[in-house]
Chain A
Amino acid sequence: MKTLIQKLTQTPGPSGFEQEIRKVICEEVSPLSKSVQVDTMGNLIVRVGQKSAGGLRVMIAAHMDEIGVIVSHVEKKGFVRFSNLGSYFPRYLAGSRVHFLNGTRGVINHDRPEDLSKIPGVEKFLIDVGATSDKDCPVKVGDVGVFDREFLDMGNRIASKALDDRISCAVLIETIRNIKSTPNELVFVFSTQEEVGSRGAQTAAYAIEADLGIALDVTPTGDILGVKMQTHLGDGPAIKVRDMGMISDPQVVNWMVAAAKKLKIKYQLEVLEVGTTDARSMQLVRAGMLAGALSIPCRYVHSPSEVVDMEDVALTVKLLTALLSERIQL
């Protein structure tokens, strides 16, 4: 699975401009389903299974987009100014590298260090692509890019940029591979624009009209200083109780917990005090949809080197496969 994860994380796809990653995912899933479509917002929708008696239509979403940059200005001196696609922490920017979709690569730093004890805002940062003026700059206003950091195999754990949320895309692909049969109609959505507000999932949910929605995303862990959470790397998939945008339906939480217990796999319960996922958009669609989320514990979320545990990932695949392969009793 590491090869797949590496391929997915290293393919660029910032919010709103997911075409390259969509192509890669499409190549992986096309042999596995007769129904693969792209909708208005660029979501990739893969259908598996038929709804039989007692079955449900389930929407499972993992977002394809990653945080990135969009060029806002090219200075006379050739420096590139940018705005953010999705939210990230300015403290991760200085020294990072950027990979633009048109192939250009550059380095990020900032100018005018007025007060070195304070971290500047995004507008104070610049990208140096090696240009000497705005005449020879290989990027222009509107060009987009992602943070550049290669995949690192640390054995049981891996590090890369964009594990949020390519790791979940990998989980979805593996789950589709693993499912032998199901009484449910499964609609896997590789969604777009989650990082700017779960916009892809919102419109996809409207069109799909599922009975139940599950979002797969990463969640920060409490095993580094300052984060008051009970989620830890290596303690298994996290079943989301709530985050800042959504409270999972208790029935969905109980169903997931029961399945994890039946499989005798370790799991944890997640209460997140910052951020939200595609599950929020799914829950408030039309007359409402029961929804929940499974999270993969991840350190250093939205940094160029996020870290996950491979056993957590494998157990998430196992749990999701079991949840979707059986009759769902909520």
Chain B
Amino acid sequence: MTDITPFLLSLLDLPGLSGYEKPASEMIAKQWQPVVDEITTSTLGSLHGLRKAHGSTKAPRIMIATHMDAIGMMVTKIDQGMLRFTHVGGVDPRILPGQAVIVHGRRVLRGIVQLIPDRLLDSHSAGNAPDYKFLFVDVGLPEKEILKLVQPGDLISFAQNSFEMDGGYVAGHSLDNRASVAALTICLEELRNTELAWDVYAVATIKEEESGLGALTSAYAIRPDIAVTIDVTFAKGPGSTDYRTFPLGKGPSIGVGANIHPVLVSEFTKLAKEMDMPYGMEVMANSSGTDSMMMQITAEGIPNMVLGIPIRYMHTSVELVSVTDIYRTGKLLARFISQLKTDSAKTLFEKFANE
């Protein structure tokens, strides 16, 4: 098993905001090359890696979705040389003052996000929590030059570099969801020398943070019999301590709720126990908030499972993950896939369908 950390660290530093995932897509394709049989791109740009089943007959299909897009910002207006912007995906504006960012204009520019100083605001806006209305990016260039290099629609990504912390932890700004891409890569490596009964579609989806339509359209094209999403979930941390959070480094979360098929809940928990793997149950009563929401309702419907990798400080420039959890998640998924038989699509769901 290769060390996934170098791939993860490089992937984290790439831009690849929703709608503009190409840089990430290219790196992932390279990493998947040795462990899949075919690599294609969907019409909208999701990356499909197919690891074929043994034998040439029409095998059942499992699709695993890990979104490769990251959150960030986008330029809306240039105001006397200062860049005004909006968010792409959910970015809490309160983390922005003082952030180093990269503006992807006609050339790459480094910038600083800051607050319009209180003394320049009227009294009822001063002192308030940071809001997009009063934030801007300064790239330190004269206005004339900026107008040549930057235009509305240009992307802004976090400049924070990824780094390792002792004990097997990695921090960076797009662990959501590149940690899951890494887990899926580990899964594919685990299965490298295994004969499979099912076709495995590893899909790095686009635009999850905006609309989930990457997963919807890829699932429509692939029509899998089972779909699994790997996404990040909330790790216990300051201010995040309730039942929706999981201890960092104590295993993945297995989802349960309306978006997840009860049969798959049983299967995955059974396997985790067999593997002596720690895990948590993530109850999602109404919505899982992941690609599975789209995949479940595609075409005639698809049974779904959601696996979560706990990270702290989700949707910030300093997300934190335990690399061990990434390995665990990849291996749990590999185990599930390796024990699927040719008739599992029927036998797994038989009891449920006939009760």
A touching B, CB within 8 angstroms: yes
Interface residues of A (CB under 8 A from B): 222, 228-230, 241-242, 245-250, 253, 268-271, 273, 280, 283-284, 286-290
Taking a contact as CB atoms under 8 Å apart, the answer to whether A247 and B152 are in contact is no
Q: List 29 A-B contacts (CB under 8 A).
A: A222-B77, A228-B77, A228-B84, A228-B133, A229-B77, A230-B76, A230-B152, A241-B74, A241-B152, A242-B19, A242-B74, A242-B88, A247-B20, A247-B207, A249-B44, A250-B19, A250-B20, A253-B153, A268-B152, A270-B153, A271-B74, A271-B75, A271-B86, A273-B76, A287-B43, A287-B218, A288-B213, A288-B220, A289-B43
With a CB–CB cut-off of 8 A, which chain A residues contact B218?
Answer: 287-288
A284 lies within 8 A of B217 (CB): yes
* Known contacts A246-B211, A247-B19, A289-B43; is-contact A229 B76 (Cβ 8 Å): yes
Once A283-B44, A288-B44 are accepted as A-B contacts, the answer to whether A270 and B211 lie under 8 Å apart by CB is no
Residue of B nearest to A245 (CB): B211
B-to-A contact residues, CB < 8 Å: 18-20, 22, 42-45, 74-78, 84, 86, 88, 133, 151-153, 207, 210-211, 213-214, 216-218, 220-221
Q: Would A287 and B211 count as touching, CB distance under 8 A?
A: no
Contact in complex: A284, B216 (CB < 8 Å): yes
A251 and chain B: residue at smallest CB distance: B45
Residues of A within 8 A of B152 (CB): 230, 241, 268-271
Residue of B nearest to A289 (CB): B43
A287: contacting residue among B45, B77, B151, B217, CB under 8 A = B217
Q: A residues within 8 A CB of B42?
A: 287-288
What would 11 more interface pairs be, CB under 8 Å, given A242-B153, A249-B45? A230-B78, A242-B19, A246-B211, A247-B20, A271-B76, A284-B213, A286-B220, A287-B220, A288-B44, A288-B218, A289-B44
Bound-state Cα–Cα, A288 to B221, Å: 9
The docked-state distance in angstroms from the alpha carbon of A287 to that of B86 is: 29
Residues of B within 8 A of A268 (CB): 152
> How far is B152's CA from A229's CA once the two chains are assembled, in angstroms?
9
Residues B86 and A290 in contact, CB atoms below 8 Å apart: no
Residue on A nearest B75 in the bound complex, by CB: A271
Tell me the complex Cα distance, A268–B153, Å.
10
Q: CA of A273 to CA of B86 in the docked complex: distance in angstroms?
A: 8
On chain B, the residues within 8 Å of A249 by CB distance are 19, 44-45
A271 touches B153 (CB 8 A): yes
Taking CB as reference atom, which chain B residue is nearest A244?
A: B210
What is the CA–CA distance of A1 and B274 in the complex, to the nearest angstrom? 73
A259 shortest CB reach to chain B, Å: 17
Complexed CA–CA distance, A288 and B218 (Å): 8
Q: In whole angstroms, how far apart are the Cα atoms of A286 and B43 in the complex?
A: 10
Closest to A291 in B: B44
Chain A minimum-CB-distance residue to B207: A247
B77 contact set on A, CB distance < 8 A: 222, 228-230
Q: In the complex, are the beta carbons of A247 and B18 less than 8 A apart? A: yes
Closest to A211 in B: B43
Docked pose: A249 CA to B45 CA in angstroms? 9
Query: Which B residues touch A284, using CB under 8 A?
Result: 211, 213, 216-217
Residue numbers in A under 8 Å from B153 (CB-CB): 241-242, 253, 269-271
Give bound CA distance, A85 to B352, whole Å.
42
B86 with A288: CB separation less than 8 A: no
Please report the C-alpha to C-alpha distance between residue A247 and residue B45 in the assembled complex, in whole angstroms: 12
Minimum Cβ distance to chain A for residue B105 (Å):
12
B169 to chain A, nearest CB (A): 32
- Sort A-B residue pairs by CB-CB distance and give the 10 closest, nearest first: A247-B19, A288-B217, A241-B153, A287-B221, A288-B44, A284-B213, A288-B43, A230-B77, A230-B152, A269-B152
Roughly how many angstroms separate A283 CA and B210 CA in the complex, as a whole number?
Answer: 13
User: What A residues does B76 contact at CB under 8 A?
Assistant: 228-230, 271, 273
Q: How far is the CB of A85 from chain B (nearest CB, A)?
A: 25
Residues of chain B within 8 A of A283, CB atoms compared: 44, 213
Q: How far, in angstroms, from A229 to B78 measured CA to CA in the complex?
A: 9
Give chain B residues whose Cβ lies under 8 Å from the Cβ of A247: 18-20, 88, 207, 210
Bound together, the chains give a CA A5 to CA B76 distance in angstroms of 31
A245 to B42, CA, bound (A): 20
Q: How far apart are the CA atoms of A144 and B354 in the complex, in Å?
A: 47
Most buried by B among A253, A273, A288, A289: A288
Chain B nearest CB, measured from A211 CB (Å)? 9
Chain A residues near B19: list those with CB within 8 A.
242, 247-250
Chain A positions within 8 Å of B214 at CB level: 288
**Cα of A253 to Cα of B214 in the assembled complex, Å:** 19
Decide if A290 touches B43 in the complex (CB within 8 Å). yes
Q: Which of B75, B78, B211 has the most CB of A within 10 A?
A: B211
Query: Can you name the residue of chain A whose Cβ is closest to the Cβ of B222?
Result: A287
Task: Kindly state the separation between the CA atoms of A241 and B153 in the bound complex, as whole angstroms.
Answer: 6
B83 to A: closest C-beta gap in Å: 11
Shortest Cβ distance from A248 into B: residue: B19
- In angstroms, Cα B44 to Cα A146, docked, is 38
